[in-house]
Structure 1
Amino acid sequence: MPRLFGTDGVRGLANRELTADLALGLAQAAAAVLTQGRHADELRAAGRRPVAVVARDPRVSGEFLTAAVSAGLASSGVDVLDAGVIPTPATAFLIDSIGADFGVMISASHNPAPDNGIKFFSFGGTKLPDEVEDRIESHLGRQKLAPTGDGVGRIRRFADAEDRYVVHLLGTLPNRLEGLKVVLDCAHGAAAGVSPETFRDAGAEVIVIGADPDGMNINDGVGSTHLEPLQRAVLEHGADLGIAHDGDADRCLAVDAEGRVVDGDRIMAILAVSMHERGMLTDDTLVVTVMSNLGLRRAMAERGIRVVETRVGDRYVLEALAEGGFALGGEQSGHVIMTEFATTGDGVLTGLHLAAEVARTGRTLAELASVMTVYPQVLVNVRDVDHHGLDDDAGIADAVREVEAELGDTGRVLLRPSGTEPMVRVMVEASEQDAADAHAARLAEVVRTRLAR
C-alpha cells in the first residue's frame, strides 16, 4: 500500500481522494500523536489544552476541509485558532510566534484548484519528519482522543493573523524599497492580500495581477507556473522587476525589467553573494538540491561559497539547513529558505529581500542575476521502465561515465528514479544546448533499452 504522506503532506483530488472523512481522521490522528510526550505532560501540568493554528489557501474545497480538520482537532481536545486564508509560511511563522503546539495548512500549493492537501507543522513551525508522519498515518482507524465536557477544544478566529505576519516580514528587511516599481503576481492565491500590502508598506510602487481569488482560479494561467502574464505586465508598466508567487506563496520566481525570467537558482545566487559580502551567510555555505544548475555551483565556488547538495524536495533542504546551522538554501523552483527569518520556504519574504538588494545596490535585477551563467539543462523523463534497477545496471553506468568524460568540467549528468511511478529522469547540463540535447537523448535511449519492462 503506498504511503499516504507525500513529499509535502497529503494531497489528492478534493472530495474524491482527499475527503472530509479523511481530513477528520488525519486531524484526530495528528492530535493523538502530536500531543504526546514531555510537551503533553507540561500542558497537563499547566492546566491548559493544546493549541493548533489552522489556515488554508483560497481554493473552494479548503472551506469544507478546514471545517473537517477543525472538528477533528477540537473533538480531540485541541483549541483551534482559525487563521483563514494566509500563505503557508505565514502559518509556520504564527505557530512559532505565538507558541502554538502545532498547526495545519490546507493547500495544494501550485496544483490546480480541484486538488487540495493537508500539511502539518510541529511546535516551532517546522515540517514533520517522515517518522512522525508515519506515526500519524498508522494511527488512522485506531482509538481517538475523545474528551468530554470542558475537555473538548474550542474553535476561535485568529483575527490578527495577517497583520502579525506583515509586521514580521517588514521587520526582516535590511532597507526600504522606495524608488522601485514592482509587479506582483499572486496566482489568485493565498498571497493576494499579504504580498501587495507588505511591498507597499516597504515603500515600493506596486502593480498587482492575479489577486482576485474566487475559489477556482488559483494558479490558473498565472503565478510562478505561468510567468507570461507577469512578463507582459513588467514590460507594459516599465517596472524594475516582477515577483511571482504560487498558490500558497511558499515560492518566488522573478522577472527582470526586460521580461527575462530569474529562477530560483539565480535568486539564491543573488542572496548568497549579498549575505556573504555582509557577513550573514553562515559558514559561507549555500544548500541546494541536485537539480540546481551547474552555473550556480561554479558561481559560488568563484566567490568562496561552499555548496551543500541534497535530494530534491524542500524538506531535505530544510533538514540540511538545520543539521548544519546554515542560513540560506532552496530549490531551482523558487522555494528559498532564509533560516534567520523563516522555518520554511517563504515566497513573500524572498521577493522582499530580492527587491531590497536591487534597492540597496542601485543595480538592476539583470545585473545582479549575471552573477551566474545558466548552463543549458535538458531533462528527459523515460517512462514505463523498471526504475528500481537503475543503480545496479552496469550498461547504464558505463554510458554515464562516457558522457561525463566527454563533458569534462563543462557539464554534468544526473539520473534518478521517480519515487512514485515507473520512470527515470535523465538530466544533462552542458555549455552548449545542442550538446545537452544530444547527450540527454543518448542516455535516455540507453535507459529505455536497458530497463525495458
Structure 2
Amino acid sequence: MSVAAAQVGAQAGGFHGAGRQRRPVAVVGRDPRASGEFLEAAVVAGLASSGVDVLRLGVLPTPAVAYLTTALGADMGVMISASHNPAPDNGIKFLTRGGYKLPDAVENEIEQRLGEKWERPVGASVGRVREAYGEADRYVSHVLSTTDVRLDGLDVVIDCAHGAAHLVAPEALRRAGATVETIGVRPDGLNINAGVGSTHLDKLRQIVVSRNADVGIAYDGDADRCLAVSHTGEIIDGDQIMAVLAMAMHAEGTLSGDTVVATVMSNLGFKIALKGAGVDVVETAVGDRYVLEAMRAGGYNLGGEQSGHVLMLDHATTGDGLLTSLHLLAVVARQKRPLAELASVMTRLPQVLVNVKGVDRTKTSVPELSAAVAAAESELGETGRVLIRPSGTEPMIRVMVEAASAEQAESLAGRLADVVRTACV
C-alpha cells in the first residue's frame, strides 16, 4: 500500500511539475486513521522525490486542505482520507491549484502513468518537506470571517466522528459564541466513524434531547459534510439544510440566479418547496463533482446533496461541513426560530430505495422496465416520482420511488425491483 501511495504521489508531483519554471509546492493533510500515518509519509516521499516542496498540515478536514491550497499559494493539495467509511479504508484525494478536485481526465492520466519510467530529480532538485501544523487557525479564521452573525445563546452539541474536525469544529463554534458540547472528539486512529458522525446519529439525537440543546451537528470523518438534529431529535438532512440556507439567501438577495443545484436524488419535497418560494432547482447526476461543475458553469453559489455535502462557492471550493453548520446556525440565531421550524419549509415525501444486485446495470432502458416505470409514473401523477439508476461500480440497479405515502412508495418500488430482476439479466 505504501509503495503504491508513493508512486501515486510521485506521478502526481511529476504531472503538476511538468514545464514549470519553479519548484511546485503541495500541501498535504489527512484524517486521524492509523493508516493515514504511513500513507502520508509515502505520499510526501513520492511528491518530494518528484521535485515538489511539501507542507505537511497534519490532521485537518478536506475543506481545510482545499482552502489552504489557495491561501498558501500551493500548486496542489492532497488529502488522505476515506471520508465516512470505516477505519480500515483509506484513500488519496488530489486538489488542483485553487482548491478544486482534479477532473476525471487528469486523475485517469495520472493513473495511466503509474509504473512508467521517467527522469527523477536528483541532488538539489528534489523537493523539501516542512511541517505547517499551525495553519489550522488560518482555516478556522477564514470560516468565521464568512458571516458576522454571532451564535451567543445557542446551545449546540457537535459530533466530530472521531475524525478530522475534532479540534477545529469545537474551536470555531465556540469562537462564534455558541455553547458547545462535544462527542466524537477523541480519535485513536481506529474509531473514526465508529458509531458516531453523520452516518450514526442516534447518540447525537439522544444527547440533544436529554440536554435540551438547541441544535445538534454531525460531521463525517473528513468533515466535508454535515447533518443536523433539531431540539426534538428530528434529523435534518442535506436537502432540508439546503432549503433553509436557500430560503435565507433568497430573502437576503444573495442567492445567485435564485437557483440551487442538487442531484437527482434530492427529495421531491425539496424541489416543491423551493419552487413555491420562487427558487429554481438545477438537477445533476449523483456526485459532488457534478454539482460543482453545474454551479461553476451557471454561476450559482449554493448546491449539494441529500447526504449533507453542501457547497457554498462564495466561501469555499468544496463541500465544507463546518462552514455549512456555521451558516445554518447563523440562520437560527438571526431569525430566532428553532431549527425544526425553519426546516419545516419543506415536507419530505416518503422515499424508498431498493438496490437490485446481480443484474446487468446497462439494461435500464429495456422495454419491460420502461413500460413498468411509465405505469408507476402514471399512478403517481404529480405526487411522486420514479428514478432508475445504474450503479457506477457494481452489477446493480438502484430503484428509487417517492410517493405521498410510505405504503405506496414501498409497493411501487417492490414491483419495479421485481421487473428489474427479471428483465435486466
Q: Is the TM-score greater than 0.5?
A: yes
Deviations 1:388-425 (A, max 9, x none): 1112x011101100000110000000001111111100
SS at match of 1:29: helix
Provide the residue aligned with 2:412 in structure 1: 439
Matched-pair contact (CA < 8 Å) for 1:375–1:431: yes
Greater mean alpha carbon deviation, residues 159-168 or residues 79-88: 159-168
Provide the residue aligned with 1:154 in structure 2: 128
SS at match of 1:388: coil
Provide the residue aligned with 1:68 in structure 2: 42
Q: What is the Cα deviation at residue 236 of structure 1?
A: 1.7
Structure 1 Cα separation of the partners of residues 105 and 347 of structure 2? 39
In the alignment, is residue 163 of structure 1 matched against residue 123 of structure 2? no
Structure 1 Cα separation of the partners of residues 141 and 119 of structure 2? 37
Q: Which amino acid aligns with 1:206?
A: V
Provide the residue aligned with 1:4 in structure 2: none
Q: Which amino acid aligns with 1:179?
A: G
Aligned ranges 1:73-88 → 2 under 5 Å:
73-88=47-62
In the alignment, is residue 419 of structure 1 matched against residue 392 of structure 2? yes
Structure 1 Cα separation of the partners of residues 307 and 420 of structure 2? 26
Equivalent of residue 428 in structure 1, options 389, 401, 414 = 401
In the alignment, is residue 213 of structure 1 matched against residue 195 of structure 2? no
Matched-pair contact (CA < 8 Å) for 2:14–2:51: no
Q: What is the Cα deviation at residue 325 of structure 1?
A: 1.2
Provide the residue aligned with 1:8 in structure 2: none
Matched-pair contact (CA < 8 Å) for 1:286–1:306: yes
Provide the residue aligned with 1:409 in structure 2: 382
Long gaps (5+) in structure 1: 1-18
Deviations 1:322-348 (A, max 9, x none): 111110000000100000000000000
Greater mean alpha carbon deviation, residues 351-360 or residues 142-151: 142-151
In the alignment, is residue 389 of structure 1 matched against residue 363 of structure 2? yes
Q: What is the Cα deviation at residue 243 of structure 1?
A: 0.2
Matched-pair contact (CA < 8 Å) for 1:240–1:257: yes
Aligned ranges 1:90-101 → 2 under 5 Å:
90-101=64-75
Structure 2 Cα separation of the partners of residues 322 and 194 of structure 1? 28
Equivalent of residue 314 in structure 1, options 276, 288, 294 = 288
Q: Which amino acid aligns with 2:378?
A: A
SS at match of 1:366: helix
Equivalent of residue 258 in structure 1, options 232, 249, 256 = 232
Aligned ranges 1:234-245 → 2 under 5 Å:
234-245=208-219
Provide the residue aligned with 1:372 in structure 2: 346
Provide the residue aligned with 2:92 in structure 1: 118
Structure 2 Cα separation of the partners of residues 426 and 145 of structure 1? 50
TM-score (normalised: structure 1): 0.93
SS at match of 2:133: coil
Structure 1 Cα separation of the partners of residues 119 and 56 of structure 2? 21
Long gaps (5+) in structure 2: none
Q: Which amino acid aligns with 2:407?
A: D
Q: What is the Cα deviation at residue 97 of structure 1?
A: 1.1
Structure 2 Cα separation of the partners of residues 402 and 371 of structure 1? 31
Deviations 1:90-124 (A, max 9, x none): 00000011210001000000000011000000000
Equivalent of residue 8 in structure 2, options 12, 26, 31 = 26
Structure 1 Cα separation of the partners of residues 206 and 197 of structure 2? 13
Structure 2 Cα separation of the partners of residues 318 and 292 of structure 1? 15
Equivalent of residue 142 in structure 1, options 95, 108, 116 = 116
Q: What is the Cα deviation at residue 141 of structure 1?
A: 0.8
Provide the residue aligned with 1:11 in structure 2: none
Equivalent of residue 247 in structure 2, options 260, 268, 273 = 273
Provide the residue aligned with 2:17 in structure 1: 35
SS at match of 2:145: helix
Q: What is the Cα deviation at residue 272 of structure 1?
A: 0.5
Provide the residue aligned with 1:285 in structure 2: 259
Structure 2 Cα separation of the partners of residues 310 and 28 of structure 1? 34
Equivalent of residue 398 in structure 1, options 366, 371, 385 = 371
Equivalent of residue 220 in structure 2, options 246, 253, 256 = 246
Q: Which amino acid aligns with 2:395?
A: P
In the alignment, is residue 176 of structure 1 matched against residue 158 of structure 2? no
Q: What is the Cα deviation at residue 145 of structure 1?
A: 4.7
Provide the residue aligned with 1:189 in structure 2: 163
Q: Percent identity?
A: 61
The count of residues paired between Structure 1 and Structure 2 equals 425
SS at match of 2:348: coil
Q: Which amino acid aligns with 2:5?
A: A
Structure 2 Cα separation of the partners of residues 414 and 145 of structure 1? 50
SS at match of 2:216: strand
In the alignment, is residue 222 of structure 1 matched against residue 189 of structure 2? no
Matched-pair contact (CA < 8 Å) for 1:104–1:120: yes
Structure 2 Cα separation of the partners of residues 21 and 316 of structure 1? 31
In the alignment, is residue 199 of structure 1 matched against residue 173 of structure 2? yes
Q: What is the Cα deviation at residue 150 of structure 1?
A: 1.4
Q: What is the Cα deviation at residue 376 of structure 1?
A: 0.1
Structure 2 Cα separation of the partners of residues 389 and 329 of structure 1? 30
Q: What is the Cα deviation at residue 378 of structure 1?
A: 0.1
SS at match of 1:116: coil
Q: Which amino acid aligns with 2:6?
A: L
Structure 1 Cα separation of the partners of residues 117 and 28 of structure 2? 23
Q: What is the Cα deviation at residue 160 of structure 1?
A: 2.1
Provide the residue aligned with 1:9 in structure 2: none
SS at match of 1:380: strand
TM-score (normalised: structure 2): 0.99
Q: Which amino acid aligns with 1:357?
A: V
